[in-house]
Amino acid sequence: MTSEDFFNSIQQQLDNKKPFVAYRKPKSTCINAMLQNTDAVHVIKDYTEKGFVFAPFDASNDAILIPIKDSLSIDCDLVNYNVSETRQSIFKNLEFDKPQHINLVQKGIDAIKKNQFQKVVLSRCETVEFSETNPIEIFKSLLQNYQSAFVYCWYHPKIGLWLGATPETLIEVEGSRFKTMALAGTQKYNGTLDIIWENKEKEEQQFVTDFIVNSLQNSVSNIFKSETETVRAGNIVHLKTVISGIVNFKEINLKEVLEALHPTPAVCGLPKEKAKQFILKHESYNREYYTGFLGELNLQEKTIRNSNRRNVENNAYASVKKKSNLFVNLRCMQISDNTASIYIGGGITKDSIPEAEWQETIAKSEVMKKVLQ
């Protein structure tokens, strides 16, 4: 399928008000989509389902599935597609949000100093008005600007329209092998990855790493932690540690793994439940699917041991494995008519400075604003 036909297909799905998801994995040139046949809402029950999952921050609410069996799957290579250059945005209520967010951060710091928890991730929602009437054009711009992110456009007429370019993997499972990442600490990108990280940022990263390892250690083996590195995500940089191993699915299922991991301290806090309750009580809005997770769930993938396709005998070594690729829903926005709700936040520890945390949210918001300008 050509890229023109691909975008026409998802445009027609949107015009017909039928659910779909279109997405590109990090550093890939291939874009995929699932076009659901009806406007029914399919709810995840036990994570044995197959399709594309869209899960909220608060796991007590339903995760939504676009089921592969009830959808048309299409894909194409991303070449020669045009991006509209006509958008003009008006950014509203910026200064009004500032005292509210700084006050929220201070409440978080005070709670940490009272030993209520060690870390909490606090966020805000910023409203942007823009002139572009077609969200597919915004999706194209995300694809063009963020090659190393998981870029998506998700739509359900009964739920809403979301777009994002997230740098963070929640978990990748292939057969019994898993890989995840601890991604925390934030600085603005200034042309180099040679960054000096403060103790606050290093501590924040260690919280996330330790949480993931401790959450999985009873059900996985051969846990491996990579060296921590600095990675770029658009106009900002983070600390990243890759964690991998073998899951014993005779002792634990995927739903239990996800319950153990989500939400991680990178998007919630530590201890998880106490930080989550603080967020639900004190943030002035509903996160909905921001800091939830999304991605391919239990899709079949054929793997071939020898890449020489002309070797017929090689087919005997082909195997089909279930694979899930799930990403944390960061750097995202929800669109309604010509208004975008942009979601941004940051990790708060005892060493946090409210003004600096506000500036961090400004830097993160630029990731989405860039494609609206």
Which regions of 267-329 does DSSP assign to beta strands (E)?
269-270, 293-303, 319-328
Sequence ranges of the domains in the chain: 3-80+88-304+313-369
Q: Does domain 3-80+88-304+313-369 have CATH number 2.60.120.10?
A: no
Mean pLDDT in each 10-residue stretch from start to end of the chain (373 residues)?
93 97 94 97 97 96 97 88 58 69 96 95 91 86 92 98 94 92 85 87 87 85 90 86 89 90 92 96 95 96 57 55 93 91 93 93 88 79
- pLDDT the model gives residue 201: 86
SS3 of residue 175 by DSSP: coil
Rounded Cα gap, residues 345 and 255, in angstroms: 26
Amino acid (1-letter code) at residue 132: E
**Predicted pLDDT at 305:** 54
pTM summary value? 0.89
CA distances (Å), origin 360, targets 35, 95, 186, 236, 347: 36, 15, 7, 9, 10
- pLDDT computed for residue 315 by the predictor: 53
